[in-house]
Structure 1
Amino acid sequence: MNELNTDGAAVDPPSQPENNSVVQQSNPEAEVDTQLDAAQTHDTISEPPQTNELPVQRQPDEHQAEQARQGNSYDYIYALGQVDIVFPNEGIKRQFLSAAMELGVDEKAYYAVFTNLSQPIDSPSRNKYLYLAEQVDWVLSVKQVHSYVLNPAAPAELQALIEALQPPKNTLEPVYTCVIGHITSSHSALDLPEVVCQQVYHHTLSELHHTIQKISRAETNAIQDVIRELEVEPNPGRNDFDRAKNFIAFRYPDIYAQTHKMHAGSNSLPSASLVSITFSRFDALSDHRIVDITLTYKENTSTKHHYYFCRVDVSGLYPFINTEIQSFLPLQTI
């Protein structure tokens, strides 16, 4: 399993949000203050003059910006699912079954055949059946539904897909594969979107937990809270929120470290538990597609809440952190 990293391969530099679009402001260890009672004032409003002209119909600026973003970008995916093999024709299927019989393995032992496990790793015959891996259709299934046909961009991605087929040792846990790429067309035979895979990595949930714990040094409860509130599960990873969610779940350990810190508490900050993670679009008029992620923690001994946020730029193929996780005080309506 690949280890977590936080950089990604940024396609564009992070955008600078405009002052008039900021809805949150930083404030360390912020707590929500009680709203102040405000005296209501009543202004006298004069009736507008009558006119026979029809009002001008205007499209909201936010909707216009969204249309522009969608029209000027590739159809990127950051998907989570399970890899399946589909034979494109009977000839390839018979070739595979013959190889499996020769190796004495099950007819669905794709990893054993593609890697020719009967030969030592340094043997020239190790790649004897690699041509079969190049000929089959690689399909990513999301919740047991075929969702994408995967087209490896390079031999490294093909090898990563083959590795995802290896049964995990000493466990019956499913292996989940994360695919980063872009949709190019529709596969004519399977009637599925075809994706050029630029990066592939895989894990079981236990492996994910171990890697997160190793890098972030977060305790099990903190890791489980984040995964629960993120609702980490197989998804097509095609919309901005899913792409941002998958990125921070697998490639941003700071979110686990912060939750661990809140769990532990300190002399100045009581212990608090994560109660929600929400997603919203930040700066609708920006050329960049930036997702604002808000984490809400509740103190374990009181009703006080603490708020943190981070921002993920999902404009390009590889999402990246636009704003590191930090505390803020929500603006109150007076």
Structure 2
Amino acid sequence: MTEQTETMEQSLDQPVKTNDMRAPAPYSEVRSNTAISPQAGAGTCSSCGGNGGGGMNLNDATTISYVYAIGRVEARFPNLAAEKEFAQATGRTETAGKTDQQAFHAVLSQRQNRYLVRQLCWVLTIQGLETYLLQPRDPADIDMLVDAIRPMPAPNDIDVVIGLRGPIAPPDMCNGLMVPIIVFDQIYSFGRDELIKAIPKPEKLTDKQFGPAAEELFDRIMQMTDNAGATDEHRVLNYLAMRYPAIYAKAAEKYGGDYSMTGVEVIPSSLSSTRKIFKAIFSYTHRNTDFTEKFFVRVDATEEFPFLVTKMSPYYDH
């Protein structure tokens, strides 16, 4: 492994410099306010109410299903009463000259209106599909939901949600929307361009070479079939897309050598015994000779937060 690659990978611990104080750094350390017990369950939603702020009993079931999903967070009114109450709060807020989205964000951002945040239902859409309803495990983390509502949204905005998957929401929870509930511990909110700029660029590559390569790899991971971040394999890929810049550096390097990316695969590692360890394999085929090179990393996906086991290295089929 070159000194350059080691320097890139060491940068995982460095925070991203950004002018948007709202967005957490995608490559900073994950924060969790609550200790997670591997034996806890994602149980029934017996206490879920129609206001979108009901709680889940995480000790009712016997198994945990973790989620590491990438999509867009949206706020919705669960019923007419919540919508009318929000309209009254808007009338008490200074919104002159603001767009509808800016006014919506301004109302939610005011401390005296935090009760409205709890009244709304929060939906995570993935590839345009309504996929999950969101609830904070710690009530203090409701601010993460507000941060995900941009006053000036862009098409490439990204929200990363990490948490535990619960049952299907009852129909009265979010105006008839019946999708699984996620009790989240962390939400990252940022733009795709911000993510690409935050990835450490190898010194030998120009921005013109590296940017398009990183964007293409990110888009391919996002567009993989049914990537809702609920399976271990998809959690591994989404973790790498967010937290391991070496996969982008390798893609740019191989494109520069006239290779095409011809495969991304996640399989269980032979090192798995008491823990869930997976190999993420990236294949590149030369455009003239059809020679294929493969590189892989190992990721541990046993608990809620995946982590790197071994760095990227050549992979050889057995």
Q: Over alpha carbons, which structure has the higher Rg?
A: 1
Q: Quick check: 1:2–1:202 contact (8 Å CA) kept in 2?
A: yes
Counterpart CA distance in 2 for 1:178 and 1:115 is: 20
Structure 1 unaligned spans of 5+: 13-70, 117-126, 266-270
- Which letter does structure 2 place at the counterpart of 1:76? Y
Other-structure match for 2:231: 239
| Distance change (3 Å), C-alpha of 1:196 and 1:225 | same
Distance 1:275 1:154, change over 3 A: same
The alpha-carbon deviation at position 98 of structure 1 amounts to 1.1
Q: Residues of 1 paired with 2:223 and 2:199: CA distance?
A: 14
Whether the 8 Å CA contact 1:111–1:162 is kept in 2: the answer is: yes
Give, in whole Å, the separation in 2 of the partners of 1:72 and 1:154: 21
* Structure with larger RCO (C-alpha < 8 A, sep 6+): 1
What SS does the corresponding residue of 2:229 show, helix, strand or coil? coil
In the other structure, the counterpart of 1:138 is: 122
Instruction: Return the match for 1:157 from 141, 146, 153.
Output: 141
Change (3 A) 1:145 1:298: closer
Give the direction of change, closer, same or farther, for the CA distance of 1:8–1:206 in structure 2 (3 Å limit). Answer: same
Cα distance per residue 1:55-79 (max 9 Å; x no partner): xxxxxxxxxxxxxxxx974111111
Alignment partner, residue 181 of structure 1: 163
Percent sequence identity over matched residues?
25
Q: What code does the residue aligned with 1:290 have?
A: I
Tell me by how many angstroms 1:89 deviates: 3.5
Query: Which residue of structure 1 aligns with residue 221 of structure 2?
Result: 230
2:192 matches 1:205 = yes
Q: Does the CA-based 8 Å contact 1:149-1:192 persist in structure 2?
A: yes
SS in 1 for 2:305: coil
Which amino acid is 1:5 matched to?
Answer: Y
Aligned CA-pair RMSD:
3.2
Residue 308 of structure 1: how far off its partner (Å): 0.8
Q: 1:291 to 1:278 in 2, by over 3 A?
A: same
Letter in 1 for 2:149: L
Contact 1:79 1:236 in 2 (8 A): yes
CA contact (8 A) 1:140 1:148 kept: yes
Aligned to 1:34: none
Correspondence for 1:129? 113
- Equivalent residues of 2:201, 2:249 under 8 A apart: no
Structure 1 pair 214–3 and aligned structure 2 pair: CA distance change class (3 A): farther
* SS of residue matched to 1:166: coil
Task: Note the alpha carbon deviations across 1:298-320, whole angstroms, 9 max, x for none.
Answer: 34553322221112211110011
TM-score by length of 2: 0.69
Q: 1:315 to 1:100 in 2, by over 3 A?
A: same
* TM-superposition CA deviations, 1:274-296 (whole Å, max 9, x none): 33222222239623222211111
Does 2:309 align with 1:322? yes
Q: Which of residues 107, 115, 121 in structure 2 aligns to 1:113?
A: 107
How far does the alpha carbon of each residue in 1:187-221 deviate from its partner, in whole angstroms, 9 at most, with x for none? 32243322211000122322222222569977113
Q: Partners of 2:138 and 2:74 in 1: how far apart?
A: 19
Q: Matched residues in 2 for 1:225 and 1:162: separation?
A: 30
Kindly state the Cα deviation for residue 329 of structure 1 after the two structures are TM-superposed: 2.4
Give, in angstroms, the shift of residue 96 of structure 1: 0.6
Gaps of 5+ in 2: 1-22, 37-60
Q: CA 1:73/1:97 → structure 2, altered by over 3 Å: closer, same or farther?
A: same
1:256 to 248, 256, 266: 248
* In 1: Cα distance, 2:143 partner to 2:181 partner: 19
159-168 or 140-149, larger mean C-alpha shift? 140-149
Matched residues in 1 for 2:128 and 2:317: separation? 41
Please tell me the residue identity of whatever aligns with 1:110. F
Does the 8 A contact of 2:26 with 2:188 survive in 1? Answer: no
**Residue equivalent to 1:80:** 70
- Check if 1:220 corresponds to 2:211: yes
Matched position secondary structure for 1:324:
strand
Residue type of the alignment partner of 2:108? F
Q: Give the Cα–Cα distance (whole angstroms) in 1 for the partners of residues 140 and 65 of structure 2.
A: 22
- In structure 2, the residue matched to 1:65 is none
Q: Against the structure 1 CA distance between its residues 293 and 178, is the aligned structure 2 distance closer, same or farther, given a 3 Å change threshold?
A: same
Tell me which amino acid in the other structure corresponds to 2:158. Answer: Y
Paired residue secondary structure (1:129): helix
Answer whether contact 2:247 2:312 (CA < 8 A) is retained.
Answer: yes
